[in-house]
């Protein structure tokens, strides 16, 4: 199991180890604070050391440590896959490169609106998952249905907390409907959300389609961030009649 980066808890020498950044002429104080946080973030340091494309890779790693959905042989779809950190973790865990002797070989497919630098073991396409034929294309590329659909997507920030919350919940709902179209029975859906009070409808939607729905804040998610992740396991399969009845009520 992955462990959070170790911290100096003795107090001795801790101040000396912290990198401080002076505010340069022409640079905003907020930019200086962001840069200082990045330089002192243990997950950022770890990502550079381990060749990950960002600290977000550890979020999916920690979620998988807890729920075990990225198993060897699994077929995985990563929505909004740039810059590729989640792809890197998925490739290793599902054995997409076939390097784990005696383990089934899985497959990893990433889709994004922008070009993504290639990740060994993953197939990446430029695609808007909201397109009418996106689900058919994804299943054709996978050679069948997916076992996992995961998303670290976030709508462009407006700076207004409630608006941003509503936008990411809407995005998660769209991604969930996409997952209903491509997941095989028993599959898993994982998505980032922002806490803010409008998660109720998303929770109801997922509970109709999955046997278990969890809300988790992994250790690598910053304490001052409102983000959390929904992990829905045990996809029940297509339920078109149930959805029609729910929409009519």
Rounded to whole angstroms, the Cα distance separating 176 from 113 reads 18
How far from 59 is each of 18, 171, 221, 237, CA to CA, in Å? 24, 19, 7, 27
For this structure, is 103 an active site residue?
Answer: no
Q: What is the mean pLDDT of the chain?
A: 83
As a whole number, mean pLDDT of residues 168-196 equals 94
Q: Are 31 and 37 in contact (CB under 8 A)?
A: no
Is residue 141 annotated as involved in ligand binding? no
User: Is 14 contained in some domain?
Assistant: no
Q: Are 204 and 213 in contact (CB under 8 A)?
A: no
pLDDT band at 10 (very low <50, low <70, confident <90, very high): very low
Burial class (CB in 10 A: 0-12, 13-18, 19+), 167: middle
User: Is 154 contained in some domain?
Assistant: yes
Q: Are 96 and 77 in contact (CB under 8 A)?
A: no
Q: What percent of the chain has pLDDT over 90?
A: 60
As a whole number, mean pLDDT of residues 60-70 equals 98
Does one domain contain both 125 and 205? yes
pLDDT digits (tens, 9 = 90+) for 38-60: 556 677 888 888 889 888 999 99
Does one domain contain both 43 and 120? no
Does one domain contain both 140 and 186? yes
pLDDT digits (tens, 9 = 90+) for 205-216: 999 999 999 999
Model confidence at 197: pLDDT above 60 = yes
Is residue 132 annotated as involved in ligand binding? no
Q: What is the CA radius of gyration of the chain?
A: 19
Does one domain contain both 206 and 117? yes
Note the pTM of the prediction, 2 decimals.
Answer: 0.79
Is residue 152 annotated as involved in ligand binding? yes
**Domains held by the chain: number:** 2
| Active-site position among 192, 204, 207, 217 | 192
Does one domain contain both 159 and 61? yes
The range of the structural domain enclosing residue 38 comes to 19-50
Is residue 128 annotated as involved in ligand binding? yes
């Amino acid at each position: 199991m992955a462990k959070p980066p170790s911290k100096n808890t003795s107090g001795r020498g801790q101040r000396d180890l912290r990198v401080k950044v002076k505010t340069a002429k022409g640079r905003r104080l907020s930019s200086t604070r962001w840069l200082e946080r990045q330089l002192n973030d243990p997950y950022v340091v770890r990502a550079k050391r381990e060749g990950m494309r960002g600290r977000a890779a550890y979020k999916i790693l920690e979620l998988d440590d807890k729920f075990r959905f990225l198993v060897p042989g699994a077929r995985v779809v990563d929505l909004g896959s740039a810059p590729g950190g989640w792809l890197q973790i998925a490739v290793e865990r599902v054995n997409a490169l076939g390097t784990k002797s005696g383990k089934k070989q899985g497959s990893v497919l990433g889709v994004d609106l922008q070009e993504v630098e290639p990740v060994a073991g993953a197939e990446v396409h430029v695609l808007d998952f909201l397109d009418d034929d996106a689900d058919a294309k994804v299943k054709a590329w996978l050679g069948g249905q997916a076992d996992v659909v995961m998303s670290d997507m976030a709508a462009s920030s407006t700076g207004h907390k409630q608006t941003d919350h509503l936008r990411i919940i809407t995005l998660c709902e769209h991604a969930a409907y996409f997952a209903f179209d491509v997941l095989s029975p028993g599959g898993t859906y994982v998505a980032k959300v922002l806490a803010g009070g409008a998660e109720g409808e998303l929770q109801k939607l997922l509970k109709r389609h999955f046997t278990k729905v969890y809300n988790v804040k992994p250790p690598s998610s910053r304490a001052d961030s409102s983000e959390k992740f929904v992990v829905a396991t045990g996809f029940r399969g297509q339920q078109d009649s149930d959805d029609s009845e729910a929409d009519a009520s």
